[in-house]
Amino acid sequence: MVDITDVLHVDGNVLIAEFPEEMEMTDETFAKVNERFEELASQPAVDTHISNLQMEASLNDDVFTRAQEAAEAGKEFGITNWVIVSEGIKKMALKSRVGEISGVDISLVDTKAEAMDIAAN
Per-residue pLDDT reduced to its tens digit, 36-63? 998 999 999 999 999 888 776 666 677 6
Q: Measure the CA–CA gap between 19 and 12, rounded to whole angstroms.
A: 19
Q: What is the pTM of this model?
A: 0.84
Residue 65 pLDDT grade (very low, low, confident, very high; cuts 50, 70, 90): confident
Q: In the beta sheet, which residues pair with residue 48?
A: 14, 81
- pLDDT above 90 covers a percentage of the chain that reads 29
Q: How far is CA 92 from CA 35, 59, 104, in A?
A: 25, 11, 15
